[in-house]
Amino acid sequence: MELAKAASITAQAPGLGPWSRKLGDESFQLRFHRKNGKKSARVALVVRISSDSTSDSYSASVESLVGDAVEGTEAEAEAVLDVRPGFSAYNVLAGMPLPFGATANEVGVNFAVYSGDASAATLCLFTLSDLTKNRVTEEIPLDPVINKTGSIWHAFLEGKFRDIAYGYKFDGKFSPEEGLYFDNSRVILDPYAKAVISRGEYGILGTDGNCWPQMAGMVPLSNSEFDWEGDLPLRYPQKDLIIYEMHVRGYTKHDSSKVDFPGTYIGAIQKLDHLKELGVNCIELMPCQEFNELEYFNSSMHGQNRMNCWGYSTINFFSPMSRYSSAGTANSGHDAINEFKMLVREAHKRGIEVIIDIVFNHTAEGNENGPILSFRGIDNKTYYMIGPKGEFYNYSGCGNTFNCNHPIVRRFIKDCMRYWVTEMHVDGFRFDLASIMTRASSLWDPVSTYGRQVEGDLLTMGTPLSSPPVIDIISNDPFLRGVKLIAEAWDAGGLYQVGRFPHWGIWSEWNGQYRDVVRQFIKGTDGFAGAFAKCLCGSPNLYQEGGRRPWNSINFVCAHDGFTLADLVTYNNKNNFANGEDNRDGENHNLSWNCGEEGELASLSVRRLRKRQMRNFFLCLMVSQGVPMIHMGDEYGHTKAGNNNTYCHDNYLNYFQWDRKEEASSDFYRFCRLMTQFRRECESLRLNDFPTAKRLQWHGHLPGAPDWSGTSRFVAFSLIDALKREIYIAFNTSHLPVIVTLPDRPGFRWESLVDTAKPAPYDFLSDDLHDKKTVTEQVAHFLNSNLYPMLSYSSIILLLYPDS
């Protein structure tokens, strides 16, 4: 319609009566009350006014209808809010600078965001339909006098926000050489957003094939509550944990999972009973904060598109990954939040704690060539370690480094962790490349960090700190007291802190030295007998002097990075050609051994040896002091065909194969299940402190005569146990068999429980084994003489019983 300036306008929309208002500006929004019999609904009619600079006329068109309009019905419409230029649907007040993010109450929503260098800020609101069209529904400029306190921009909007998303535009200097990236043409995601609205379906491109469609934050609702059904933290002593590293999507995405919603939080819930059967009481979820799985989509891998499957490239740390939910972005992301909560609640019902892997070392924005999504467009110099000429420090190996010890950033980290503990009920955190969190912040300032000058302070950015402020804050925060804190105590910049990570007595570490030593000794490398014995004791060489305990060591042989357990005994060399990088990526030094032939196609004798070695590794993990961690799929022998860096594969390489698990149910899976049960039954394998000579005795081929020489490939020990009396455990990693003389215990006899040299089911003599007596009698003549024959590359567990 053509309209004269300042004239009144009238329009008719489907289901609405006529309306009339005078023009107030070039764009505005009207809110109507729609009556339909006894029912009523509030709807907003968005009208866009455009002018022709060469004439005195305007044209108006109905762009969208927000609310519960019903087609084919007639209803009267009356304005219930005054028309106001730019933000007519909401009453805009000054608001409060805290808390950060969007906070709802019964009247409206408070918005608050930090930006130290922005000269102007605009709050942008989207209807969900406008968001898909990359079109801002409404822009609300923030008044620097009324809507700013210090460096915090804020506003309170009265009104209704169902199915509304938000973001910000920031104005200021765009000067990458100064570390400034302000661009008022971009809508930036709030770091404190509780859900990210964008693509709703995993792996599906956005409009026009866009890998990075516009993202916006969920505007929270004041009445969005979740029924926790009385859920409370389990608070297991850490010494009693058996951790299972799990990828949410990969756990049930394979067709053989037969769950209702494969690859989702709901799908994982349907398979939690497997973990309970395995004996796991803690899952460590690989990153499930919002990330873009299509981040590398345009990079080809031999005709297939590269995916970011693992998720170590976070966009927003508060938001659960929406495309891991069966609902996607439905209900403005509320359903995704609730599905994650359901996973935690249902895990707790089964006695399983939930730890999340969180990536506070870098973000998805990369280096200067990366996208401007959130932190960079808000305050790049605050959130990232920036050099004098604007260059990004890269201690993460992923293009940027999160500026963890900056006052604003460390508050952000603390707030984020509090949210996941109090709102999402998680039980702890594993910190990826945690050593970055110990480095001095960009523009290091001891006054802002410690509140005073530090005598002789010569620290420069990135220097490791003995008392990092962010670690101090996390360690002493009352909200976080009692949660599990696990550091991956190294980074890509060469900082290696295993055994030396600042810990305040409560931090644990992924023990990379345990992994390396155990791999070397089990495959028969000389010179590791003594180091292996320390690993069995919980690595006192690393943790005892600093006042920590065995449970501060998270013991693992395999994790998502590197070979699976099956591949560790099948490949000497990585096979990463499928990644599309000519096999250049991934670790070259895997400390693996293929048992004599490379690859899965091998002779029967080699395949048998591989099974034996897998049992040796798992047994070692379960009898070591400290906290064992199992990688998803290792319990049935999952293979990635020698690929030790499958971050980019959303396929069978990273999917748990439930049919394979069923095939192994009476073989290796049975062995793993029985070994975890045995660990839980033995208090001596879960000590609160390092074992001493009162409880533990070392042996060699002869009792009490251990061999710690450089050529020794035999380690044995006996351990006093309150429930099992005494346990004898031995490892023979030589290529030669040996007959072991056992400790003499008058009035008692030794009986075999585990022998990894034997095929299933005789590798573990459980009580339900129908021919257990026959098998026991086969070695009775050795045991009656206090002897036991051990094949090469085997391990045993014997139990002490009274003479009958």
Calculate the CA dihedral of residues 359, 629, 503, 355 and round it to 10 degrees: 50
Cα–Cα dist 389/401, whole Å: 16
Contact between 708 and 530 under an 8 Å Cβ cutoff? The reply is yes
Task: Give the number of other Cβ atoms within 10 Å of residue 277's Cβ.
Answer: 13
Contacts of 186 (CB under 8 A, 6+ apart): 169, 372, 377
Which amino acid does the sequence have at 611? K
Return the active site residues: 432, 488
Contacts of 590 (CB under 8 A, 6+ apart): 562, 563, 568, 571, 574, 644
Task: Give the number of other Cβ atoms within 10 Å of residue 623's Cβ.
Answer: 23
Q: Which neighbouring-strand residues pair with 762? A: none
Nearest 5°: phi and psi at 782? -70, -50
Handedness of CA 411, 412, 414, 418 (dihedral sign): positive
> 268: which DSSP letter?
H
Contact between 278 and 632 under an 8 Å Cβ cutoff? The reply is no
Burial class (CB in 10 A: 0-12, 13-18, 19+), 710: exposed
711: its two tokens: 């050529």
Calculate the CA dihedral of residues 316, 318, 322, 327 and round it to 10 degrees: -150
Cα–Cα dist 423/321, whole Å: 16
Q: Are strands 57-66 and 2-4 parallel, antiparallel or unpaired?
A: antiparallel
Number of H helices, E strands in the chain: 18, 38
DSSP three-state, residue 412: helix
Contact between 168 and 183 under an 8 Å Cβ cutoff? The reply is no
Cα–Cα dist 508/487, whole Å: 6
Cα–Cα dist 502/468, whole Å: 8
> 801: which DSSP letter?
E
Cα–Cα dist 265/283, whole Å: 13
Q: Quote the crossing angle between the two packed helices 407-422 and 375-383, to the nearest 10°.
A: 120
Which run of H or of E encompasses 79? strand 77-79
Contacts of 227 (CB under 8 A, 6+ apart): none
